[in-house]
């Protein structure tokens, strides 16, 4: 099933069901795409406007990056589902004999690595999206500034949601060096970009008081 | 155009375009629906599990409320677009003569009232969704607890995003009593439920350290 081709209400329905996928990671990727698209929209509304003639080339470049990010988010929405199924199977493998234990451990290690790699990549995309919102806030049309605030706060939620999918999987990893490296990268992105997103949101909100 | 019937990637595409709708309000409603569906999924995964036999009736009731909320969010996604178009037309009305000024002011007042009512309703749904996540965290299956965290943080982002759509419209209202009443309700929801959502998220995240 290609999740990005489901209608929005179908996606909501399958997300709410007991089907193992999509889950929190796929939802985070979709919310990241929604957030990025809001920033991108502010760019679209700025194109061709005389008042913003000085930043047209910048806006075109920002929009290209936003388009690419939206595509990456939608690909990652699918990837998150693809990597979950092997992990789900691995949890069910027998571990009676030493040989079975060794095999299960080997398969689990590979599956967990992938199940961390995807939400980490979602997080990297969210950080890039938050950087883009900073530029859309500075250069985009003032009439759509509220949408920059909406977009950046969605990207922050996607960042935080994806981080839980890193942490739940690193917790089960036997390779503690990899687990700690993944956790460190996730924590660094959270520390830096959650604050940055809140700042951009607060700057937008301050325009309406 | 019925936005909930667009595929996810089509919705992202039209959101990123210069089309006047959907905008931040519609995106907030979709993100609220995604968040609610994640809590609902934890309920779905809890149904029929022996270990959770004692809470089956509670889970069924919570899931019914979550289903209803998802439907309200998707309806509000559409409503947000419907109420924006009259406002957009009102901004373009002539105001040369006194009669034109009076007419424009009258039409604007009605359009602004609607354009605040919809995001306020999205915010009320987000608050209810955050309350549901509190119960899913307490009663739902532990294996999907990360999804409660993902869900609640999406609902928080939807709450914050919708608030900007209240504030941008109250700012233009001539009826300051209504504007202040709307702002007060929005600020109250933000103050109470952003904190509550963060607490639920932090409690979930604490399970993975």
Residues 6+ apart with CB under 8 A from A1: none
- Could you give the CA distance from residue B34 to residue B125 in angstroms, rounded to a whole number? 12
Residue B117 token pair = 């009512």
Question: How many of the other CB atoms lie within 10 Å of CB of A93?
Answer: 14
CB pairs under 8 A between A and B: 191
- Partners of B153 on chain A (C-beta within 8 Å) are 157, 160-161
- pLDDT tier at B209, thresholds 50, 70, 90: confident
- Could you give the CA distance from residue B176 to residue B173 in angstroms, rounded to a whole number? 6
- For residue A133, give Cα distances in angstroms to A105, A129, A130, A164: 42, 6, 5, 23
- pLDDT tier at A156, thresholds 50, 70, 90: very high
- Partners of B70 on chain A (C-beta within 8 Å) are 12, 16
State whether residue A49 is helix, strand or coil.
Answer: coil
Q: Phi and psi at residue B7, in whole multiples of 5°?
A: -70, 160
Contact B154 A23 (CB under 8 A): no
Portion 168-207 of B in contact with A at CB < 8 A: 168, 170-171, 201, 204-205
pTM here? 0.98
- Mean pLDDT to the nearest integer, A31-49: 98
- Partners of B182 on chain A (C-beta within 8 Å) are none
Summarised one tens digit per residue, pLDDT across range A131-154 is: 999 999 999 999 999 999 999 999
Q: State the nearest Cα–Cα gap between B19 and chain A, in angstroms.
A: 8
- Could you give the CA distance from residue A119 to residue A25 in angstroms, rounded to a whole number? 6
- Could you give the CA distance from residue A116 to residue B138 in angstroms, rounded to a whole number? 26
ipTM of the complex: 0.98
- Partners of A52 on chain B (C-beta within 8 Å) are none
Q: How far apart are the first and last CA of chain A?
A: 46
Any idea what DSSP says for residue A173?
-
Summarised one tens digit per residue, pLDDT across range B37-58 is: 999 999 999 999 999 999 999 9
Which residue in A49, A147, A176 has the most chain B C-beta atoms within 10 A of its own C-beta, making it the best mutation to test that interface?
A147
Summarised one tens digit per residue, pLDDT across range A5-23 is: 999 999 999 999 999 899 9
- pLDDT tier at A209, thresholds 50, 70, 90: confident
Task: Give burial (CB, 10 Å; 0-12/13-18/19+) of A30.
Answer: buried
Are B144 and B42 in contact, with CB atoms under 8 Å apart? yes
Biggest CA pair distance of chain B: 73
- Could you give the CA distance from residue B30 to residue B36 in angstroms, rounded to a whole number? 10
Q: State the nearest Cα–Cα gap between A44 and chain B, in angstroms.
A: 5
Question: How many of the other CB atoms lie within 10 Å of CB of A128?
Answer: 18
Phi-psi category of A23—alpha, beta or left, where left has phi over 0 and alpha has psi -120 to 50?
A: beta
User: CA B169, B170, B172: angle at the middle one, nearest 5?
Assistant: 70
């Amino acid at each position: 099933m290609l999740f990005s081709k489901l209608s929005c209400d179908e996606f909501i329905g399958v997300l709410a069901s007991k089907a193992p996928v999509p889950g929190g990671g796929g939802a985070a990727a979709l919310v990241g795409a929604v957030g990025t698209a809001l920033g991108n929209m502010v760019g679209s509304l700025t194109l061709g406007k005389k008042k913003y003639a000085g930043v047209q080339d910048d806006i075109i470049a920002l929009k290209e990056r936003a388009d690419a990010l939206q595509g990456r988010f939608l690909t990652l929405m699918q990837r998150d589902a693809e990597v979950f199924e092997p992990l789900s199977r691995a949890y069910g493998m027998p571990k009676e004999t030493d040989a079975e234990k060794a095999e299960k451990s080997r398969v689990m290690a590979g599956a967990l690595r992938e199940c961390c790699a995807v939400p980490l990549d979602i997080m990297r995309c969210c950080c890039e999206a938050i950087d883009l919102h900073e530029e859309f806030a500075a250069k985009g049309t003032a009439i759509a500034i509220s949408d920059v605030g909406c977009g950046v706060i969605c990207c922050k939620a996607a960042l935080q949601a994806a981080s839980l999918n890193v942490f739940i999987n690193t917790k089960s990893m036997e390779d503690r060096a990899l687990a700690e490296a993944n956790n460190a990268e996730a924590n660094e992105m959270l520390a830096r970009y959650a604050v940055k997103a809140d700042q951009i949101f607060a700057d937008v909100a301050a325009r309406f008081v």
